[in-house]
Structure 1
Amino acid sequence: MIDLYIKQIIIHQFSPNDTDLYFADKPISITPKLDEYFRKKLAKVFTEDAKRGRFEEDNVFFGYLNDDLMTSSKKIAELWREEFVSSEDQKTNDLIFIQFDKDGVEHFAFLRVALREHLAHIDMDSDTPIKTTQNNLPSAAQTPDEALVVNRVSRDYYLIEKRMKHNGSFTHYFSENLLQVEPRQSVKKAIQQVEKTAQKIAENFNQDDFNFQSKMKSALYTHLEEEQELSPEKLANQLFEDNLTARLTFVDELKEDIPESIPVSDIDYSRQAKKLENQKLSLSNGIELIVPNNVYEDAESVEFIQNANGTYSILIKNIEDIRSK
């Protein structure tokens, strides 16, 4: 888990019944259990799902952050309510405000967590021992419904938001209305967009085969692990090295959503890396192969042979041991 030191937690609540806020009058006492729970919640924000950016010095929202967490939390909760109250399918929400240190630097967090109804075994002596309990917090492993974490020194932010029906149309009300920022695409979305665009370009230039798909997967994995970034320009050079037009088209189609390289050194992108670390091949005869990238690219380990009749043969070499699973 990321090394975080939680200093203070304040929890206000939004009720959908009267669309009102119920303000806490003091911070909660932080027990070891609560400390662990909220540290796990915060860690879910520093992931591949987060959009990122940096507040301008004159950003109005950033100006509401100060050393008095209670004052900041009440003001931001009120501003949030003004935007959220127009959304559909409202539920009871805890609005959690946290002051914490990460790597010795002070951070601010605002987590919106929708509370749940759960069945619980409450009374052994009753004919109906299982009852519905209200206002249950979700598990610590679950990403907050929406979240904002801000580095108070650098003004860098991490944002988890949902596209919600707001005033009759779907919008990212959190970033567009509340924060008034244009965050960078999340790493998860960026990877999906890169893959979709690369495949489209490859199809247009008749390069879309299993070799290209494998090359794309390997290139993405390498860029994340070794380069610690996602760069359309560098990927274009690797994926379409022999076709200048394809390279330029690839970069051009991504420039609006990914105008510059996306760094990944400050987030946990392990789920995406896991998806990319192996080549998964499904053969027409029903055989499926899972091959690690380093083995796949080693000619001394795996060789793909195109036969004269257009079919393929796969030669797997230098196997020391075979086990049945």
Structure 2
Amino acid sequence: MDIYLKRAILHIIDREAGDPVYSQVELDLTTEYIRDYLTKKIQKLSTPQTKTGILVADSEIAQLVKTAEEAFAVFSEQLISRWYEIYRQSEDAPSADVFVVLYELDTKMQVAFLKVNYTDGYTHFVDADEQGIQNKLIINRAILGGKTQKADEGITIDLDTLAYELVEKKYTFSGEKGVYFSTKVIESEALPSLEENVKVIKKVAEKIGQKFEAPSYDIVADVKEAVFETIEETGQIDAQEVAVKVFKDNITAQMAFQEEVKEKGFVDNAPMLREVKEISEKKYGKQKLKLSNGIEMIVPLDVYRNPDLIEFVNNPDGTISVTIKNVEEVINRL
């Protein structure tokens, strides 16, 4: 995706110091490392854990978002103020820096909220007194994660459609741990993430498979393949398509599967995040197998389904033999 940064600002959230420290000056986007850092953080919000949804058009947060382009600095402060009023009530939510970014994605204007928690880091400190120069080792408790690390929490919102992509964490509020960003900050019922939907599918498929005495490893492999193929074909997960691919000609199993996944919270044909096909290929495009004897294998889907390359044989004694065939070269890497 092509991201063009327009404006950005950094606000400091030090829980020990009290109220947020609002910046009155925006970040200098002509500085390459700032552009690179923010761009990478936005890109990494697209994960299997990312939830999607659309803000309610007449909600307070939606009305606030509509001011982002015209009054960016004021908007950023109001957004942080709204979020922090809820965040501060948590017993264990950590200190962090929050970046608010206005950017263009494929010609569409977006706004991003990126929260990066502090981590401890060690560095040197040069001190001098009457004895001379002393190089000290000190600990800095407000180090930010590098550009290759994803933001701890974040949301991107399309200013036109109000569609959003959200990564949120659970923190403790009044003794109970739970999400707060979707329920209280944006007051929107986010759709389950790709990972949440697939977990439901996998669990139900294994349960249904047991009733029909299907091997668990085969069911999980079929689920991963079905998820990968339906996303590649349509950009969504279709429960009916998954049922057909996993349970083949067993109509009874297909019907039972479709009914139970919906009962367990699966959202059929839910809108997915923009990068879903790329994420699906990385996460579900390969079978990861761990055998009881300690052997682990990562097998591409096209290889897994090719009996000329790999074969699983159920032995009379209940064990399984795995045969890898037609290998031209074995490379042993340290």
TM-score by length of 1: 0.88
Counterpart for residue 104 of structure 1: 107
Cα deviations by residue, 1:279-312 (Å, 9 ceiling, x for unpaired): 3445566655543221222244344444566655
Q: Distance in 1 between matches of 2:298 and 2:87?
A: 46
Q: For structure 1, which segment, 270-279 or 33-42, has the greater mean C-alpha deviation from structure 2 after superposition?
A: 270-279
Aligned residue in 1 for 2:240: 233
Counterpart AA for 2:9: I
The correspondence of residues 75-90 of structure 1 with structure 2, limited to 5 A, is 75-90=78-93
After superposing the two structures, state which structure 1 stretch, 266-275 or 131-140, moved more: 266-275
Cα distance between partner residues in 2 of 1:176 and 1:284: 42
Q: Indicate how the Cα distance of structure 1 residues 142 and 303 shifts in structure 2: closer, same or farther if over 3 A, else same.
A: closer
2:44 matches 1:41: no
Q: Helix, strand or coil: the match of 2:92?
A: coil
**What is the correspondence of 1:39-78 to structure 2 with a 5 Å cutoff?**
39-65=39-65, 66=67, 67-78=70-81
Equivalent AA in structure 2 for residue 181 of structure 1:
S
Comparing 120-129 with 12-21, greater Cα deviation is found at: 120-129
Whether the 8 Å CA contact 1:48–1:267 is kept in 2: the answer is: no
Q: CA deviation at 1:324?
A: 4.7
The structure-2 alpha-carbon separation of the partners of 1:134 and 1:259, relative to structure 1 and needing over 3 Å to count, comes to closer
Alignment of 1:259-274 (within 5 A): 259-264=267-272, 266-267=274-275, 270=278, 273-274=281-282
Higher alpha-carbon deviation: 243-252 or 91-100: 243-252
> Distance between the aligned counterparts of 1:283 and 1:107, measured in 2?
46
> Which secondary structure state, in structure 2, belongs to the residue aligned with residue 91 of structure 1?
coil
Q: 1:116 to 1:265 in 2, by over 3 A?
A: closer
Contact 1:198/1:250 (8 A) holds in 2: yes
2:259 aligned with 1:252, yes or no? yes
Report the AA paired with residue 38 of structure 2: F
Write the distance in 2 (CA, Å) between the matches of 1:119 and 1:288. 37
Alpha-carbon deviation of 1:141? 1.7
For normalisation by structure 2, the TM-score amounts to: 0.86
The alignment yields a C-alpha RMSD, in angstroms, of 2.6
Matched-pair contact (CA < 8 Å) for 1:149–1:157: yes
Equivalent in 204, 211, 219 of residue 226 of structure 2: 219
Aligned position for 1:94: 97
Secondary structure (helix, strand or coil) at the match of 1:26 reads coil
Which residue identity lines up with residue 235 of structure 2 in the other structure?
A: Q
Whole-angstrom CA distance in 2 between matches of 1:229 and 1:212:
20
Describe the shift of the 1:168–1:130 C-alpha distance in structure 2 as closer, same or farther (beyond 3 A). same
SS at match of 2:195: helix
C-alpha distance in 2, partners of 1:11/1:284? 50
Distance 1:156 1:72 in 2: 18
2:126 is paired with a residue of what secondary structure?
coil
Q: Gaps spanning 5+ residues in structure 1: where?
A: none
- Deviation at 1:117? 2.9
Q: Establish whether residue 243 from structure 1 lines up as the match of residue 250 from structure 2.
A: yes
Deviation at 1:315, TM superposition (A): 5.2
Deviation at 1:213, TM superposition (A): 3.0
Q: Give the CA deviation at 1:19.
A: 2.6
Matches within 5 A, 1:1-325: 2-30=1-29, 31-65=31-65, 66=67, 67-123=70-126, 126-255=133-262, 257-264=265-272, 266-267=274-275, 270=278, 273-283=281-291, 289-306=297-314, 312-314=320-322, 316-317=324-325, 319=326, 321-325=328-332
Report the Cα distance in structure 1 between the residues aligned to 2:24 and 2:135, rounded to whole angstroms: 37
Structure 1 residues 127 and 270, CA gap change in structure 2 (3 angstroms): farther
Does structure 2 retain, via aligned residues, the 8 Å contact 1:184–1:258? no
Equivalenced residue count is 323
Quickly say closer, same or farther: Cα 1:123–1:305, change in 2 above 3 A.
same
